[in-house]
Amino acid sequence: MAKDMLDAIVSAEEESKVREAKAKTEAEKAIAKAKKDAELLIENAEKSACNDAEALYDKAKSDGEKELEKARREADVQCVSIQKIAEKRRSEVIKGAINSILS
């Protein structure tokens, strides 16, 4: 009977060691999986941030091009207006210059 009890104790200890080793292996696997998942999350976050930054850059560039085109059109209108005024006053300026020279 004492032998049976010792055998049971030895068997329980061996089973405990097996369970401990299995638990340790599972814990190591869980840690490795968590690290891999974290790396994937970081990678995805970086890609998302890059995509967002590119989208914002593209929008800013597009908006800038629109503003530039608007400024060009406004400048063209002002140039045409100045040119018309200069053409209207050309003869007056020439007459004034001639009169200044002749006086």
In this structure, which long-range contacts are made by residues 31-37, counting pairs with CB atoms below 8 Å and at least 24 apart in sequence?
none
Q: CA-to-CA distance for 58 and 81, rounded, in angstroms? A: 35
The tens digit of pLDDT for each residue in 26-39 reads: 999 999 999 999 99
**Count of alpha carbons within 13 angstroms of residue 15, beta-carbon side:** 6
The tens digit of pLDDT for each residue in 53-79 reads: 999 999 999 999 999 999 999 999 999
Query: Which pLDDT value is given to residue 69?
Result: 97
The tens digit of pLDDT for each residue in 77-95 reads: 999 999 999 888 888 888 8
